[in-house]
Structure 1
């Protein structure tokens, strides 16, 4: 069971990557990204609530600090989704994805400040390797095809910072309660925030739409199942390691687009995928040792 934590985080990231492809299908059908995000979280919330109620008395913990940290984790997820979509709208997917995956930098710096982890050349080398892979994979290395605005850059960095907030919020909450309780509170906060940001009429239209099956599948793969894996795995994994292992998500999303959506990948993008996978594998082995 040495690799259990890292393996669960990897499975979660694969689910997130697949959910990106499903979301792309829904956006092609004309659905608003914020509405898509809301239903992804809402289905996830129902999964976590069911998980909590299976043994409610043992799972539930009454603690103000638990509610605070779990709510901050939910704010992190909501902020990540919202900032990511704003960055895409204002710049491009390449810029948004690259900046969002600066999360390990935020995680590592905050870990140093809080005394959770010590700085090492290995961790900095892995961060640089994964970020270089993300740049190659997304095509952000080609300045002629990238248009960066202030809002696009701010949104992408905000997405990365929000992801770091989720990791630390959950890690702190995990010291006070069980994953079932934390996840239920976090995704309830997530649903409240995105409900306020979404178009109410479009939210209602989803329920009577023929695409409802896609929304349910998105929620199960992209939140319900994947986050259950993640919240268990992150408890057994260092914050910086968890954030870097989760970067397998863009690789999965790219393969989904290649195999099912007809997208194409160039040689440079394949090099980026290989670099990400190699760095994640190397880090996982070193972390386990």
Structure 2
């Protein structure tokens, strides 16, 4: 059963990786990043509504704390989706996905600020290595060269920070209700939040254009099936294992960008990407192993 659960987590990460590439295709066709995020979240909402309808027991929907934390989780997901796609539009799928993968570093920084964690030499060294990796990956040392823009870098990092908000909010919402109820509230909040910055006219026009199948695939893989697989898979998957297999997402997104979108990465960028992925994965494994012992 544990092996099957791990496969679920791998599939979820794979789906998220593909969603970045699909979003890149849509934005290359002129679609607004916020509209792409809105449609992704809206289709995801339909899936978790069905999940809640099939498993309504213990939803906790009458609990005020569940609503507060779940709404915050939804704001986190809205920021994660939107900033991720903005970063892709301003740079590349590979860079955006890797920057978003820095989320565990933000978890540590927030934990330091809240007094939940104490800084150590190991954690500080890991954070420094990640920062070096970000500089190499994004070409921050030569930002005028025409590669990734400052907006792209900032948006990529903000996508990771937003995901951190989701992680903390989901964690604090879990004792008050079921995962499916939390996701229903979260995705509802996401849709409400993204109505304002998105182009409503463009969002409505989606379903009358040749691009609508891509939007459906994006929503199904990037928010519907993937979140359900991930939540179900985590129940029987060790946190350390989940931390390692999560690397499937940025790797899949990067390969999609290179193979399908024709993006290129120079040697220093590849080295920076590897430095980030290895360091963040090791940091996540260290944290999850310690928290479960």
Both proteins in one fold, TM over 0.5: yes
Aligned match of 1:195: 195
Q: Over aligned residues, Cα RMSD in angstroms? A: 3.7
The structure-2 alpha-carbon separation of the partners of 1:135 and 1:248, relative to structure 1 and needing over 3 Å to count, comes to farther
Aligned match of 2:125: 125
Task: Report which stretch shifted further, 220-229 or 184-193.
Answer: 220-229
**How big is the shift at 1:72?**
0.2
1:72-125 deviations in Å (ceiling 9; x for gaps): 000111123334555677x65598777655543432122234454444333333
Q: Secondary structure at the match of 1:250?
A: helix
Q: Secondary structure at the match of 2:168?
A: helix
* Structure 1 gap segments, 5+ residues each: none
1:146-189 deviations in Å (ceiling 9; x for gaps): 5766x667655543432221111111111212211111110011
Aligned match of 1:270: 270
- Distance in 1 between residues matched to 2:15 and 2:155, nearest whole Å: 23
- Distance in 2 between residues matched to 1:65 and 1:172, nearest whole Å: 9
Q: Secondary structure at the match of 2:209?
A: coil
* Structure 2 gap segments, 5+ residues each: none
- Distance in 1 between residues matched to 2:40 and 2:202, nearest whole Å: 15
The structure-2 alpha-carbon separation of the partners of 1:137 and 1:87, relative to structure 1 and needing over 3 Å to count, comes to closer
Contact 2:104 2:284 in 1 (8 A): no
- Distance in 2 between residues matched to 1:241 and 1:188, nearest whole Å: 30
Task: Report which stretch shifted further, 73-82 or 206-215.
Answer: 73-82
Aligned match of 1:180: 180
Aligned match of 2:35: 35
TM-score, length-normalised on structure 2? 0.79
- Distance in 2 between residues matched to 1:166 and 1:129, nearest whole Å: 24
Contact 2:24 2:88 in 1 (8 A): no
- Distance in 1 between residues matched to 2:6 and 2:82, nearest whole Å: 27
Tell me how many residue pairs correspond in the alignment: 286
Aligned match of 1:16: 16
- Distance in 2 between residues matched to 1:105 and 1:243, nearest whole Å: 13
The structure-2 alpha-carbon separation of the partners of 1:19 and 1:141, relative to structure 1 and needing over 3 Å to count, comes to farther
Aligned match of 1:216: 216
Matches within 5 A, 1:26-105: 26-84=26-84, 92=91, 103-105=103-105
Contact 2:139 2:148 in 1 (8 A): no
Contact 1:101 1:131 in 2 (8 A): no
**How big is the shift at 1:204?**
1.4
Task: Report which stretch shifted further, 184-193 or 194-203.
Answer: 194-203
- Distance in 1 between residues matched to 2:276 and 2:179, nearest whole Å: 28
Task: Report which stretch shifted further, 157-166 or 244-253.
Answer: 244-253
The structure-2 alpha-carbon separation of the partners of 1:71 and 1:273, relative to structure 1 and needing over 3 Å to count, comes to same
Q: Secondary structure at the match of 1:210?
A: coil
TM-score, length-normalised on structure 1? 0.80
**How big is the shift at 1:244?**
9.2
1:58-80 deviations in Å (ceiling 9; x for gaps): 44542100011000000111123
The structure-2 alpha-carbon separation of the partners of 1:285 and 1:197, relative to structure 1 and needing over 3 Å to count, comes to closer
Aligned match of 1:163: 163
- State yes or no: 1:250 paired with 2:246: no
